[in-house]
Amino acid sequence: MTSPVASLAHAIDRRVGRSAPRPSLWAIDVWRLLGHLAVAMFVILAVTGLLLAIWYDPSTEPVTYQGSSELYDGHTLPANFASVVHISEDVPGGLLLRRVHVAASHLFVAATVLHLLRILFTGAYRRPRLANHLVGVGLLLLVLGMLYTGENLPFDLVSGASLRIGYAALMSIPLVGDTLAPLAFGGEFPGGDVVTRSWFLHVFVLPPLFVGGLALHLWLVHRRTPAEWPREDVDVHRCAVGRPLWPDASARFAMLGAGATALVLASAALIPWADLELEGPFRPAEAANTLHPPWSLFFLSGGLRIVPAIDLVIGPVRITNMLVAGVIIPGILIAALVVYPLIERAVLGDDIVHHELAGPLDLPLRAGVTAAITAVTLVLTGAAGVDVIAYWLRSPVEGVIWAFRIALVVVPVAATLLAVRAARRHAERAAGTAGSAGHDDAEATT
């Protein structure tokens, strides 16, 4: 009588859906769906990536490209660059695959970062969700790793610059840098193995780790139940609220995934993501006039541009701009994501369970720290564009860099002070309304 599909739906429903003794509840609102958007993008990336892997060749050996690209036909190119040209120009739908892969990667990182900001601003990392927050930071590192290794694969001039900077960043690490860099690259730069290793990491190591981490992340969301904004109709501290995974939440995730895929495809029709016609292949000691990483790595590039030259020698250790801007500052930013929740817990002596999401201004400490982290990251991100901004303004790049140097100090301090002040006012106002309400009550009773 019942079809297999219906009985499967029944089975799912009894386990995690509306009829389950303990339904799996998922919060559905714009901010919560950012995480699911990232998952949808990862699915697109996995599908397009698997297809691209059919034709991609990680070798850097020179080959003669022959195909329908007029620009490169008959030229000797590195095999990986040639394979990317082949995908773009000769494989049916290949350029579309590449555009969709790149467009989805942009949305993937954007959704991940906004999701993280939501967690930070609303205090969603508090007990009992701290462990899941740490899993999330690990996932963010994997995302950045996939981004960097993916950027290296076309082996064009931009890849060349990103590889060089990666090599220099490893080399800048005191005591072990001179060993670490050739070890990672398989020899002196450019190193025979580095693109093969990037490819191996990008395809075989990081995505499976990401899938594992994501499974843990989602399982923990299910186990801990969603945190919820304070609301009138439910005591969210006592009760878990949300849409049951089956069928309501699943239908929404499917809608979101399909809609976002349509959006990515439409963007691929309008914007030539990833077309490398004019980005030449990697050549030793050659660079383009302007070189920029993907926007999500701008915070690294920006720091390298605006942190002044440093040459501090202490015994066998040399501290350079590369160490400070390429290793220490990003390290501090990432470490802050891990350490700040612990600090907050220690400072407030707050060891109780929080199922209520906080407002961004509910706690001056949190408002200040999140404002500082966000402001530093934003200034560094903007600083990656000093050359472009100087070109727009038709003014010397030195002036723009100085403006960003000043901004790197002033903006985070100002943002922190403003956020703390706003949070204090917010608290006063809350206390004021509570106080006046209490007063009214008192009057009413007397």
Could you give the CA distance from residue 243 to residue 260 in angstroms, rounded to a whole number? 21
> Which residue from 38, 77, 82, 95 is in contact with another protein, where contact means CB under 8 A?
95
DSSP β-bridge partners for residue 314: 317
Range 406-435, binding another protein (CB under 8 A):
none
Based on CB atoms, which residue is closest to another protein, 113 or 220? Answer: 220
# residues contacting another protein (CB under 8 A): 115
SS3 361: coil
| DSSP secondary structure string for all residues of 9-66 | HHHHHHHHSTTSSSPPEE--SHHHHHHHHHHHHHHHHHHHHHHHHHH------EEE--
Nearest distance from C-beta of residue 446 to another protein, angstroms: 34
Q: What string marks each residue from 385 to 404 as x (binds another protein by CB under 8 A) or -?
A: -xx---------xx--x---
> What is the Cα–Cα distance from 443 to 43, expressed in whole angstroms?
60
Residues 294-333 binding another protein (CB under 8 A) are 301, 304-305, 307-311, 313, 315-323, 325-326
The verdict on 80 binding another protein (CB under 8 A) reads no
114, 291, 333, 336: which one contacts another protein (CB under 8 A)?
291
Which of 298, 293, 368, 308 lies closest to 330 in space, CA to CA?
298
Site string for another protein, 113-142 (x = CB under 8 A): --------------xxxxx--x--------
Among residue numbers 12 through 71, which ones bind another protein (CB under 8 A)? 13, 17-19, 22-23, 25
- Identify the burial level of 434 via C-beta atoms within 10 angstroms of its C-beta, where 0-12 means exposed, 13-18 middle and 19 or more buried: exposed
Map the footprint of another protein across residues 230-259, applying CB under 8 A: 233-235, 238-244, 246-248, 251-252, 254-256, 258-259
Is the distance from CB of 137 to CB of 361 less than 8 angstroms? no
Q: Which is nearer to another protein, 344 or 362 (CB)?
A: 344
Interface with another protein in residues 334-363 (CB under 8 A): 342, 345, 351, 353, 355
Residue 333 to residue 287: CA distance in whole angstroms: 30
Q: Give residues 213-232 in contact with another protein (rule: CB under 8 A).
A: 223-225
- CB of 338 within 8 A of CB of 120? no
Site for another protein in 147-206 (CB under 8 A): 161, 164-165, 167-169, 171-183, 187-190
